[in-house]
Structure 1
């Protein structure tokens, strides 16, 4: 189903749902060139940086869509080489993918499904295997949030068929994501095998190999965060805690959203080991401005489990007095 959607979705889907926005950078008859592409790429880098800091806000989603519209407007209305047109489609797909990710992160799943349709179409038009890989990764994340775990695995298979997956860094990310999806299906053996494959591939990465800037998020810390996600789903609490500490020890300061997520997962892992005082102390470390989207949902789960595991503990009373989630 996923492969057929990628190959046959009409390009009109993306081009009609994203209304053109005037781009004032060039004259009405000006040819689109690499400088225009570079300006859009710089804006994409800002979108990525904002996502790393704040996560899936509605404002981030709308900003990404606006820039996607500008990229499409340029390629629709100005002369350009085929190479530049491909880059513009790729940037439109990248911006739309960021809107998709923001909607997923913020729990706006109806909007996310529309963004996915657009992003898949644009990625196909771009001919860029790295953008196609990125969109399929976001598709897997959306299907996971929808509880469609076998569709998430199918999205992983689609990503695996792209040329980008031959690069050990991309392969490692793919294996780690697949581990999460197997864990959601409670397939312990497959999930742990994929984590081993992800770690092995990460060890083969040539850091000097040129890669798209958006792939800069994936490193050892991100691997351990995905491993933390998988082992949490499997209820392997000691392993989950170990991965959480590995993530926090290697996480770059700019990745504030991931730090909040990791602490929420760590609190769950500590609670799973019947340490409510330690778990509550960890959860309290998460700043108020980070408590939205996935982090908020994890903290809601944490509160529910805390009430079940230690209903009369002083730490539980402290949590619900300060954090009425």
Structure 2
């Protein structure tokens, strides 16, 4: 075939055709911006593609795919292919030119999108039929290595973790109690997934499908917590993390599944830590954050590491503000070059809160300005899932808490009113929490009666919450108002209602 022929169909090209494709092929490929074209089997016999496949580097395969003559004289742009893969052009550039991708879920997903024949791959695609099967079917889905690759089978004994979860927190929940907790937390799908049964059975092998189910549970935790709080969720997360960690110490799995498993455990540990914070079990949160950082480093997952460091900055901002600042600085360093505006917003907020706790007002105001500037740049397609809550309300709310640290209750009250006005139904827990802190700020301004009335109105909503972080602040208001020498009627009404409703 010469350059005068269409590389797609072999038809003769007109002399004035400078596109490299005949008219019918151009018409057939007009939607290539939305999805990859259907390519013939001979496409994969192109020498650069075969060499890239032999190198076991999917980034090189994607580059060879883009430059294949089948697409015409002009190669497919990184922007177009990145759109197919659900990533940015910059991310695709790093995939093509960086070290090989090792996460099996990414490899399998991208290979399926591009339509690479499974026989040419150096890893196995998960069987789609297993996605709706029971636990037995899922357990047989573990990729079996060939004889030359058996040394790549690993157990978690070769993958260190930074702490051991207390046994009593892991094994005391039986199956009935587990599903009762799931129902209370609004996680009905747990019963369908059979997580408890799967982990309790301790199958001798772990499949990629099991790892994916665990990752899905993290998303459900995040959504349920935003609505109601984390008391029940925390128990479930601790239980699931403990079961999965225990299972991983005994099971066998391929190296690719091991990479995905460690990444999933890291994400689950970070989510468990946040649930512990919201459940006012702050001492329990730090070991999970340490575990998340360790596992994230094992599999080179900077997003999870940054998430854990940002949460560690939150955890320590009041008790150890200098450490909180160091954690935020470390997160900035790790995310340099890929952090999106909203992620930088969060990290500037973490630094601002730490500076406020250190009583450094000028540094606090500087970081708040930077946080707002980043937020105004808007969302980005590469935003990590864990920063879903970073919005105007969060900026106003954290600024208000910092004003309280700086003993400026009037400014805190103003910022809290703005945060409450700009609330979202998806973050009902945050709405109640900021209203609680507004009552606190109002009391610190000196308006005791108004603070008592605001706290009284909150009692029914707080009882519907499942967040000890929220109830603790209401209890603090009760304790403070209970010390008023001559309580007024609003104060007495609040104390009576609080005590009779047994808000704890």
Instruction: State whether TM-score is above 0.5.
Output: yes
Q: Which of the two has greater helix per residue?
A: 1
CA distance in 2, matches of 1:28, 1:306: 55
Residue 438 of structure 2 corresponds to 266
Paired residues, number: 311
For residues 259-311 of structure 1, give each alpha carbon's deviation from its aligned partner in whole angstroms, at most 9, with x where no partner exists.
12101111122223322232222222322233752223322333344456784
Q: Is the counterpart of residue 323 in structure 1 residue 484 in structure 2?
A: no
**1:163, distance to aligned residue in structure 2 (A):** 1.9
For residues 57-82 of structure 1, give each alpha carbon's deviation from its aligned partner in whole angstroms, at most 9, with x where no partner exists.
1x322322344356554697354454
Q: Please provide the CA RMSD for this pair.
A: 3.2
Q: Is the counterpart of residue 129 in structure 1 residue 299 in structure 2?
A: no
CA distance in 2, matches of 1:274, 1:133: 40
CA distance in 2, matches of 1:199, 1:308: 39
**1:28, distance to aligned residue in structure 2 (A):** 6.1
> Aligned to 2:342, what secondary structure does the other structure show?
helix
Match of 1:226 among 386, 390, 398: 398
> Aligned to 1:116, what secondary structure does the other structure show?
helix
**1:50, distance to aligned residue in structure 2 (A):** 2.1
Q: Which TM-score applies when normalising by structure 2?
A: 0.55
> Aligned to 2:162, what secondary structure does the other structure show?
helix
Report if the CA contact (8 A) 1:71-1:89 is conserved: no
**1:117, distance to aligned residue in structure 2 (A):** 2.6
Residue 97 of structure 2 corresponds to none
**1:149, distance to aligned residue in structure 2 (A):** 1.6
Gap change, CA 1:211 and 1:76, over 3 Å in 2? farther
Gap change, CA 1:88 and 1:285, over 3 Å in 2? farther
CA distance in 2, matches of 1:243, 1:103: 27
> Aligned to 1:255, what secondary structure does the other structure show?
helix
Gap change, CA 1:176 and 1:305, over 3 Å in 2? same
Match of 2:469 among 294, 317, 324: 294
Residue 251 of structure 1 corresponds to 423
CA distance in 1, matches of 2:235, 2:295: 17
Q: How does 1:134-213 map to 2 (within 5 A)?
A: 134-144=307-317, 147-163=319-335, 166-205=339-378, 207-213=379-385
Gap change, CA 1:30 and 1:195, over 3 Å in 2? same
Q: Which runs of 5+ in 2 are unaligned?
A: 1-158, 172-195
Report if the CA contact (8 A) 2:228-2:428 is conserved: yes
Residue 32 of structure 1 corresponds to 207
For residues 125-157 of structure 1, give each alpha carbon's deviation from its aligned partner in whole angstroms, at most 9, with x where no partner exists.
231111111111221222235x11211111111
CA distance in 2, matches of 1:16, 1:274: 45
**1:88, distance to aligned residue in structure 2 (A):** 2.5
CA distance in 2, matches of 1:196, 1:242: 17
**1:172, distance to aligned residue in structure 2 (A):** 0.4
Q: Is the counterpart of residue 89 in structure 1 residue 262 in structure 2?
A: yes
> Aligned to 2:317, what secondary structure does the other structure show?
helix
Gap change, CA 1:76 and 1:223, over 3 Å in 2? farther
CA distance in 2, matches of 1:217, 1:268: 23
Gap change, CA 1:110 and 1:268, over 3 Å in 2? closer
Residue 223 of structure 2 corresponds to 49
| Higher gyration radius (CA) | 2
> Relative contact order, CA 8 A, sep 6+: which one is greater?
1
CA distance in 2, matches of 1:312, 1:15: 49
